[in-house]
Chain A
Amino acid sequence: MKLGRRAFLQFAAGAVGGTLLTPIPWQLMDDSAIWSQNWFWRPSPERGEITKVATTCMFCEGGCGIQARLVDKKRAILLEGNPTHPVNAGGICPLGAAGLQFLYAPYRVSQPMKQTKKRGDVTGLQFIDWNEALATLSSKLAQLKSEGKAKTLACVTGQRRSSMDDLWQQFFAAYGSPNFFRMPAPTDSLELAATVTLGQQAPFAFALESASYVLSFGANLLEGWGAPGRMQTAYGLWRRENNGKAATKVVQVDSRCSMTASKADQWVAIAPGTGAALALGIAHIMVKENLCDTDFLKNHVFGFDDWTDSQGKNRKGFKNLVLTEYAPDEVAKRTGLEASKIRDLAKEFAGSGNAVVVWGEGSGNLPGNIYNELSFMALNALKGNLKSGGTVSLVPSVPFEPLPELQLDAAAKRALDEQRLDRQQPQRFPLPGNDFYAFLDAASNGAPYPINVLMVHEANPLYSLPENKLFEAALEKVGFLVSFSSYMDDTAQQADLILPNHMALERYDDAIGLPGVPYAYYAVASPILKPGPGTKHSGDVVLALGKSVGGNVGTALPWSDYKAYLQKRVEGLAASNKGAVADRAGMELWKLQPGDLVQANYKDGADLWKKLAGGQCWYDAPASAMQDVQTTSGKFELALSLIESKGLANAADLVYLPHFVQLSLSGDEKEYPLLLVSFPTMNLANEYLPNPPFMTKTVWDFVLKGNELFVELNPQTAQSLGMSQGSRALLKTPQGEFPVRVHLYPGARAGVVYIVEGLGHKAYDQYIQGKGVNANSIIEVQLDPLTGLGTVWATRAQLRRA
């Protein structure tokens, strides 16, 4: 038999017919569909028992209650707001919601590292074990101490409202170095403002939930101002219909139509940096038309009328100043507003029952100019807001027991303080605070003494410090840089030694008080998962360093580990028998008034610890701002009598009073005809933490496209520069030149270029590295002449077509 072509076709036809009656085609078709659902890059959630663990969020200082969803108690799959927590009532910000991406980030540092090549060469960073890492640092510290160079050890931390801050302070005091700093924050100037006006070292707090009228001078209320979770809740309350309660009116004074401005009832578009002038203009109307709380002014305020200093010299009071210098027409010229608008604002503010002034100009990351703070605060004083039960008070302290006493007498402590590097500068500031910029300046000069070891804890100053070049310059002179970062961030890349901290969700931590919140608050963060073997709690590292340096440093830090230290603190708090644990859903702590009795609902220290470690928080009633005034006059001081003793006895009257002052900018106005202002948004993290990929996904393509950043420009300004939407341009400031693209935004003020914060990282992963430009490397920081704090209001800029 010969099988020819015909036979082959017959066979094939039979085979095809047969195949159709088998599962082959149908099964393969079905399976191919299923196969296509299982490509390897498709994320597949782990299955198992789902549990929830509650804790406190440590991604910022906001103290939100969060809960993590875990699979089989070993894989975290979701972070969400804790619905029973009084601060955020179930709400969560984008950073919190995306926070698990930090836990599983490829840029985490899993083990200590040391630099084996030149500083900054990432390939030179090699893993070492903890024994070697700790020995390297402790031998350096022991050597410096034995050589009498203890003060050449410095530290900057980004975790200020935490027991870590106290632990660092204890370590530095015992070790003998005054050079402990915090990353600059608005709290710095709020605290100084309270110190000079009330004699109390605590930042101001604002009862926003009960306010009926909120006048905000540039405070980014919805973009991270104060405690973000609390602000979300407060905003909800303002916008909730409530029988018998008038709707809260929010007025945003800002040069740019920010998210807050767009959600406010009224946006007052003002020239950048002139908010204080407007505040004093409002004060002018209030004084002139007798719209102030005269009873409060008479009994509780010093310096409203003309006053006499200790040398018997007559000095101008606040009333006199605002009446002569801040008439609406005058203020209109400075602010770019109409005089009638200023009058209307003043009458509306003065006529509202529970009106409050809040502020936070500029990026909101930095302290403000002290005179601006005082001008805004003056409005609250004129309105009598500082009265007990009023809308302004001070953030109350938490009644811990003091830490073990150091074997240093007061004189020795003072001597240490005076030797602090920032206070050794030729330019002395009358009211020095957390003057990190002055420190950097001295460190980069290496005078009067060099910094041999700089430790950076929970901070990324090389990226997030405005005018970050200053940190870079100081770093060149720093002998040895130690990073405690959990991530390979911009600063960690430059480190000589990295001692990775447990990631924020893997460690015990705490939150002491909430920024801008009147009630007393304390919360503990407990790990949602066991940390990996290669990281170590920075608190435990400090304790270990204390032990190895020994002597009085060891005795000053007697705790076995950081958890024990926290437990001891909580024990002390319980011993005070003050406050209570918020253990029910729906508690409205903002309704607490000064003097309200809060009944303790915990048995003892162990019980309180158990409740706090389980994600609940401790609270107590607010304290009235006027209950413990420590000024010489015993009153709130509109005229700062305190500074008379700070080397300013012969200064002009104006120096003592809140007044409008705009620090002059560097650069020639002809060369740089525009102003550059940076702004934060809720979906770009701009401090220690980088933007996680989930958040970067929400950034619009007119903010960032590929690697190109867009600056906002008013359409008219763009037209005059010959630019249109998407134009490529070069943005030049006295700090340098950067390529950008242009986004036309009618909410941008003419003549001002707006740049978003949170982009332009040089570290981390492909989703954030090299994307856009870091606003901090373009903007200019100006030192406040009274406090030495670094402030930013604008930078001169030039924009030309690329």
Chain B
Amino acid sequence: MKEENKSASGKGVMGGIIFFAGFILALIVGWVVFPNLLYSQKVQPMNFSHVAHQDSSCEDCHTFRADGTYTGVPKMEKCKECHESPMGNTEDERKLVEDYIQKDQEIPWRTYSWQPDNVYFSHAPHKAKGVECAQCHRDVAKEKSLPAYKENRLTGYSKETMKMDVCEKCHAERGVNNECELCHK
């Protein structure tokens, strides 16, 4: 009898340990391994230092067009305004001048916050309501090199792409319209 009990309780403890091992392992896989598996890390075609451009204001490059649409990442035309010929002697600037400006080719930047086609998003009203850039985007004020671009292997979108729940939460908190067709037109 005793032996049986002991053995039963031993089995129970053992079972608990095995269960817990599976539980912990799953947590490790889910929280540590999976995110690294899901996203591939891609480097940008060249580095860009926001710090090095602190003599200009954000709006010099990230502008709104006359029709209210937002230009996003500036085109090579913009870079050309200052870098037609190299201003310094960094490797990245050489790359910019020789590989892109002189060859008249756009830099194939990967956009960190690229919204899907079925989302209509306009920066203009957000700016008008005083939403700061850094509330949605990373703060680039002290950024010397561009972070790796993490691409979701399944969807092809950037990890930084804002999901709908974040939009909705902010809209709800501010009492802004949250109707479907506000963004999905």
Contacts and interface: CB of A to CB of B under 8 A. Distances in A.
Contacts of B117: 42, 44-45
B27 A10 contact: no
A136 to B, nearest CB: 34
A34 to B, nearest CB: 4
Interface string A36-47: 011000101100
A599 interface: no
B63 to A, nearest CB: 11
A15 B154 contact: no
B154 A14 contact: no
Interface in A27-79: 27-28, 30-32, 34-35, 37-38, 42, 44-45, 49-50, 72
A34 B157 contact: yes
A23 B35 contact: yes
Contact of B22 (A15, A24, A31): A15
Nearest to B25: A15
A131 interface: no
A13 interface: yes
Contacts of A45: 117
Given A24-B30, A31-B152, A18 B35 contact: no
Contacts of B34: 22-24, 27
Interface string A411-438: 0000000000000000000000000000
A11 B19 contact: yes
B27 A18 contact: yes
Nearest to A21: B27
B30 A14 contact: no
Given A6-B15, A21-B30, A14 B152 contact: no
B159 to A, nearest CB: 11
Given A22-B30, A22-B31, A15 B23 contact: yes
A300 B116 CA distance: 71
A312 interface: no
A759 B69 CA distance: 43
B142 to A, nearest CB: 29
Contacts of A1: 14
Contacts of B172: none
A18 to B, nearest CB: 3
Interface in B13-71: 14-15, 18-27, 29-31, 34-35, 38, 65, 67, 69, 71
A178 B117 CA distance: 57
A27 B15 contact: no
B177 interface: no
A35 B153 CA distance: 9
Given A10-B19, A11-B21, A34-B116, A19 B26 contact: yes
A17 B30 contact: no
**Interface SS, A side:** helix
A73 B27 CA distance: 51
A34 B27 CA distance: 25
Nearest to B106: A72
Contact of A15 (B26, B156, B157, B163): B26
B118 interface: yes
A7 interface: yes
A34 B19 CA distance: 34
A12 interface: yes
Given A11-B19, A45-B117, A49-B69, A18 B156 contact: no
Nearest to A27: B38
B19 A14 contact: yes
B30 to A, nearest CB: 2
B116 A37 contact: yes
Given A7-B15, A44-B117, A50 B23 contact: no
A16 B26 contact: yes
Nearest to A25: B30
Given A27-B38, A37-B116, A18 B67 contact: no
B157 A49 contact: no
A801 B29 CA distance: 71
Contacts of B25: 14-15, 18
Interface in A200-245: none
B155 interface: yes
Nearest to A34: B155
A11 B25 CA distance: 10
A23 B154 CA distance: 15
Contacts of B69: 49-50
Contacts of B15: 6-7, 10
A161 to B, nearest CB: 36
Contacts of A44: 117
Contact of A14 (B23, B157, B163): B23
A37 B118 contact: yes
Contact of A31 (B26, B65, B75, B154): B154
A27 B154 CA distance: 10
A481 to B, nearest CB: 40
A13 B29 contact: no
Q: Which of B35, B117, B163 has the most CB of A within 10 A?
A: B117
B30 A10 contact: no
B18 A22 contact: no
Interface in B105-131: 116-118
A16 B30 CA distance: 11
Contacts of A37: 116, 118
A32 B154 contact: yes
Nearest to A44: B117
A17 B116 CA distance: 33
A44 B116 CA distance: 9
B31 A23 contact: yes
A643 B24 CA distance: 105
Contacts of B24: 14, 18
A14 B155 CA distance: 29
Given A27-B38, A45-B117, A22 B27 contact: yes
A35 B154 contact: yes
Nearest to B27: A18
Nearest to B118: A37
Contacts of A13: 19, 22
Contacts of A27: 34, 38
A14 B26 contact: yes
Nearest to B26: A18
Contacts of A15: 22-23, 25-26
A3 B65 CA distance: 67
A235 B96 CA distance: 58
Q: Which of A14, A24, A37, A44 has the most CB of B within 10 A?
A: A14
Contact of B18 (A7, A35, A72): A7
A30 B165 CA distance: 12
A12 B154 contact: no
Interface in B66-80: 67, 69, 71, 75
A72 B116 CA distance: 19
Q: Which of A7, A18, A19, A21 has the most CB of B within 10 A?
A: A18
Contacts of A18: 22-27, 30
A49 B65 contact: yes
Contacts of A16: 22, 26
Nearest to B30: A22
A249 B116 CA distance: 52
Contacts of A6: 15
Interface of A: 1, 3, 6-7, 10-19, 21-24, 27-28, 30-32, 34-35, 37-38, 42, 44-45, 49-50, 72
24 contacts: A3-B18, A14-B19, A14-B24, A14-B25, A14-B26, A15-B25, A17-B23, A18-B22, A18-B23, A18-B24, A18-B27, A18-B30, A21-B26, A21-B30, A22-B27, A22-B34, A24-B30, A24-B34, A28-B154, A32-B154, A35-B154, A35-B155, A35-B156, A38-B156
Given A11-B18, A16-B22, 20 more contacts: A6-B15, A7-B14, A10-B15, A12-B22, A14-B20, A14-B21, A14-B23, A14-B24, A15-B26, A18-B23, A18-B24, A19-B30, A21-B26, A22-B27, A23-B31, A23-B34, A24-B29, A34-B116, A37-B118, A42-B117
10 nearest A-B residue pairs (beta carbon)? A22-B30, A18-B26, A14-B22, A14-B23, A14-B19, A15-B22, A18-B23, A11-B22, A34-B155, A15-B26
